[in-house]
Structures are given as C-alpha cells and as structure tokens.
Structure 1
Amino acid sequence: MTPGSNIPLSAARVAVDVSAPVRLDVSGLLLTAHGKVRSDDDFIFYNQPSGPGVTYRSGGGTASDAITVDTAAVPADIERIVVTASPDAAGQTFQGIEPTATIRDAATGAVLATFTPPRLGAETALVVVEVYRRGGAWKARAVGQGYANGLAGIATDFGVTVEEAPATPPAPEPQPRSQPPVAQSASSTAPPERARAGATPPPAAPPAAPPASGKINLDKGRVSLQKNQTVSLVKGGRPLLSQVKMGLGWEPAYRGKDIDLDASVIAYGPQRNHLDSCYFGKLTILGGAIRHSGDNLTGEGAGDDEVITVDLGRLPADATGLVFTVNSFSGQKFTQVAKAYCRLLDAATGEELVRFDLTSAEPQTGVMMCKLIRQFSGEWEMTAMGSFVKARTVRDMVRPSAAAL
C-alpha cells in the first residue's frame, strides 16, 4: 500500500502488527466521527490491553506487537481505529528505521496488505494505518503520519491530553520498557505520564517539529512549499478543482551551456505498482487524463519550460500516486542548473496555487520534484520532495519514485 491508499476488508476480524529492526510500542485508539476518543477507555495499549472490539497483543520482545479489531464488536459511534507505533527506547526516532505494518485475517493469519511508511526521519511516533467504517463496510487505509513529540503528540491530536508529572529520583532498577501515556483516574498514583480525555493541555510546549513538516491547505490562497511540506488541495473544506497543470522550469547556472532537461510524471497504483509514465516520448497516458506539453531542449525563455496537465477527475480509480520528475538527458548535473522550480496551476484559470523552488542542488542527473497522493476521501495532496537520484531518463526514475511514495 502507499500513503492514502485503502483496501476493503474481507475479514470481520483483522490484526495489524507493526515490525521494525528495533522494538516498537504499538497502540490503538477508537475514534468517533469527530476524530476524538470518547474516554480513556478508548486508548488500547499494553497497560490497557482491551477495549470494545479492540485488543492489544504483546509480541513479548521476540515478535511484533499487534492490535486486533473485531469489526462486529466495535460500538456504532466509533468510526475508525488508528494504529500507532513508537520506538520502545525513550527519545529514539524513526531515522534509519523502516517499520512495516501487516494487516492480516485474524482467524487464519492470511496477509491482506502491507504498508511501509516512506521517508521517515525525526519522528518519534507514527500513525501507521487505520481501520475505518464507510457505508456499512469496513476498510483499511495506509496513513504514515509522523509526530516529532512522541505519543504525546498523537494523544493531543485525538483528544487525550498528556500531563507531565513532577520529576522523581531514578529507580534503583532500570525499567525494561519505556512508558507511553497511561489512562487512569486523577486519584491513582501518578506514573511518569498521565493521560486524560478532555483535559486542558499543559503550558509547556512540546518539542519543535522538524522544519518544513506538517500539512497545510489553500484557504489563504497561494502556497509556497518547503521541502517535505504537504499541501491539501482543498479550500473551504471542499476539493478545489479537478484539473491542474504542473509547470516545471529551470535555467542554466552561471551562464552555462544549454541544458536539456525533461519533465515527466510517473503514475502508480495502490501497491506502488507502475501504471505508466508521461514524458516527451509519450505525451498522453491513462486515457488522456495526463498530457505533456512537449520537449524543451534548452530551458530558454521565461516561464514554464514544460507543462503537464492532469485531469484528476478522469484518472482511473487505481491511480493513487503521481510523482513529477526532471531528468538531465544530456548528462549534466543539477549543480549546473539554476532556478529550478515546479508550480501547480488551476488549469481553467491559470491561477498559480502552489509553488516549490528548488533552492539547493546535488551533483546528480535526476530529481523528484513533488508527488500527488490521492486520499481515501478522493481528495489529493501535494508534497514537495526535491530528492536527487542518479537517473538520466524517466525509466531510471520509476523505481526510486515508487520507493518515495
């Protein structure tokens, strides 16, 4: 699965286990239609291993922890169950760690889907997948949303506020497991962290998120993205448009020679499977839903050097991810390119909606500029990438772009 993709569940009971090279703490939260827990009882983890329709299973340090969802037993006012993970070691991030969620039929153990969130770094906690109800049927969606402030950040997002207790002297014996937020009453003995639903957040600010992270929308007009930042193509709560143009431009650096760069878009399915590529050698793909303006051999002139039009409304249902790339067909490195950018425009009005300027370059011949991901709701999100690879043709970009989804 890729971020934002979903699958229908063929089993009434499913288990979601999350594995990684290090030990992880896995939790589940039951959320209403408002995206919040009803009470502390809806937070399921190793100190509170069961709730209505949802249970936690420990891997005992030798196997992966898992959350099992019995969809037939989930209360009617619960719309989704999110499965979270965080490294067991306090303060450890997901840098260099690739957690993989496996969704199984809980009765037979058969694998229904797997998901590995891409491009993790400073995150210390992660919403990995969610099991949700739509129109009386149950589905699973790949999420991969990271938090730099650990389980406290996830708890805050879903209505469980974490209060830090006063510091206590270290215990004579080390604890074998780091403690996530613990749901208990105010009269109980306070653990290192105490979680309560609906409490007022403490005044202390959480650790700062990594730069250029987070998700924004178009409510305030044109957006200038930074690397790794995501914009939702929604304005006023509604999808903004169905047809967009992606303009890509560049200039030779330091009065250098003309550079033949080629803009392309690579389309993928829910399993990161390559559907097709649109580039100067194939100007139309997916039944005309994606069209290329044609090749620019020099980068000369003002404005966009190459334009790719995407009719989001006409894309087939299995097209869930698009990666926009630029390659140096002539073999010159991107350190010889200046003012490389991509911008998203309303195809009907020509209005610029989103812009990403590539302010630094690497001595490579290919760059993934940005990606568009279809969410389970049908909305699309654009993420600025600016990731360089060794690739002179679009064919060389297919594999690294799939890995970046």
Structure 2
Amino acid sequence: MSLLNLQKNDILDLTKKDPSLDNIVLAAGWDVVKKGFFSFGSADMDLDLSALLLNEDGRLIGEEGIIYFNNQRGRGIFLHGDNRTGEGDGDDEKISITLSNLPENCKKVMFSVNIYQAKERRQDFSKVKNAYVRILNSDKGNIEICRYNLSEDGQNATSLIFAELYKIGSDWNFRAVGELLQGNLTTLINKYK
C-alpha cells in the first residue's frame, strides 16, 4: 500500500477511499528539542492531544464534545492516556474514533495539540520538531491511511490545530490544517462555544 503524505490544507475523502471505513485512530507524535545551556523553560514539555466535536454551525456540541486528558471518553471517541514527556519513538498520543457512533449532531472533529502550562513554563512550539498526525484504519490492523507532517517552525505558538475530520452528506473527509496559535485548550473551547 502506498503511503499518502498530505500537505497543509490537503483533503482526503476517507469514505470514498474505503466505503467500509468505520474505526480509525488519529495518532500524533513529536520530538522536543533538547535543552541548551542558556535555554528557558527548563521543565519537561507536556503536549496534549485533544479533540473538539463540532456541529453543523462549527460550534461545540456541548461539554461532552471536549475530549482531553481530564475527559478522555465520549460517544464514539476515546483518548488513550496522557503522555507527559513525549519520550520515545513513534506515536505520543492517540484518539480512537468510531465514525458511525459519533453523536448525530457531530459534523466535524477538530484535533489540536496544546502545550500544558505553556505560559507559566515559558514554552512554545519553537522547541517542538518532527510533529505529525496520521490516520490509521483500526478495522484493518492499524494500516496507515495518511500522514501529515508539520513543516512550519512553531515560533512562539503554544497551540496547534493539527487536523480535522468533517462530514459532507454521509462521507467523512480528513483535512490537514496545521494552524499555529497563541493560547491553550481553553482558548480553543471559547472560540468554538
């Protein structure tokens, strides 16, 4: 199977690619640049993957539509734990989704990665490299469907809208977003209330 590498704003019609697709995993990974002698923010960086379930109007479906380390499970969606250091190779955090079991009013799932306590720890995405998200088909042994590697320098951003799943009719699509922002999960929640 050929690996599909998406670029920023590329869209993949997941349903057209595989009409039987239902159980997927969005996996994210990143590396933290090692601290130099004069670096600030000496604490380990804790990056958190989260998902916001949005309705047709692009608004949160409610509190149950916020999936993050303190609310890891919702209808049709589940966050696997909280990796607090990003240590090790491969995926750092994963979210499993059963497309057919998402709430009926959910038309979009937006995925973000936020630096926990970024402001207090004086940390930002300039110290994060090799960040990626990938979609896996968990019905077929976690075969990778597509991948999006973030190529931009994170500069002083503390939050990243990485990608989104969205539904048009009965088809689910995946879009590589790669939007770097100032703020945190609360900022994003307030933006989509």
TM-score by length of 2: 0.86
The answer to whether the aligner puts 1:313 opposite 2:100 as a matched pair is yes
Bigger relative contact order (CA 8 A; separation at least 6): 2
Q: Secondary structure at the match of 2:188?
A: helix
In the alignment, what sits opposite 1:251?
A: 31
Q: State whether residues 16 and 171 of structure 2, in contact with CA within 8 Å, keep that contact through their aligned partners in structure 1.
A: no
Within the alignment, does 1:344 sit opposite 2:144 as a pair? no
What is aligned with 2:58? 272
Q: Deviations over 1:178-226 (max 9, x none)?
A: xxxxxxxxxxxxxxxxxxxxxxxxxxxxxxxxxxxxxxxxxx7431110
Percent identity of the aligned residues? Answer: 29
CA distance in 2, matches of 1:319, 1:295: 24
| Pairwise CA distance, 1:315 | 1.0
The answer to whether the 8 A contact 2:54-2:106 is kept is yes
Moved over 2 A (4+): none
Aligned to 1:228: 9
Q: Which runs of 5+ in 2 are unaligned?
A: 36-41
Amino acid at match of 1:368: I
Q: CA deviation at 1:262?
A: 0.3
SS in 1 for 2:187: helix
Structure 2 letter corresponding to 1:229:
D
Aligned residue for 1:261? Answer: 47
Whether 1:365 and 2:176 are equivalent positions in the alignment is no
Amino acid at match of 2:142: G
Partner of 1:333: 124
Give the C-alpha shift of residue 398 in structure 1.
Answer: 2.3
Q: Identify unmatched segments of 5+ residues in structure 1.
A: 1-219
TM superposition score normalised by structure 1: 0.42
Q: Is the 8 A contact 1:245 1:308 kept in 2?
A: yes
Question: For 1:271-324, what per-residue CA distance to the aligned partner results, in whole angstroms no more than 9, with x for missing partners?
Answer: 2221211111001012xx100001111000111111000100111221000000
Whole-angstrom distance in 2 between the partners of 1:221 and 1:339 = 21
Measure the CA separation in 2 of the matches of 1:300 and 1:382: 27
Once the two structures are TM-superposed, the CA of residue 240 in structure 1 deviates from its matched residue by 4.4
Matched, 1:386 2:178: yes
- Greater percentage in helix: 2
Letter of the structure 2 residue corresponding to residue 390 of structure 1: Q
Q: Which residue identity lines up with residue 365 of structure 1 in the other structure?
A: T
C-alpha displacement of 1:379 = 1.0
What secondary structure sits across from 2:126 in the alignment?
Answer: helix
Distance 2:22 2:2 in 1: 17
Q: How does 1:43-192 map to 2 (within 5 A)?
A: none
Tell me the residue number matched to 1:284.
Answer: 73
Shift of 1:366: 0.2
**1-structure distance, mates of 2:117, 2:149:** 22
- What is the rounded CA distance, in whole Å, between the counterparts of 1:321 and 1:228 in structure 2? 15
AA at the equivalent of 1:280:
F
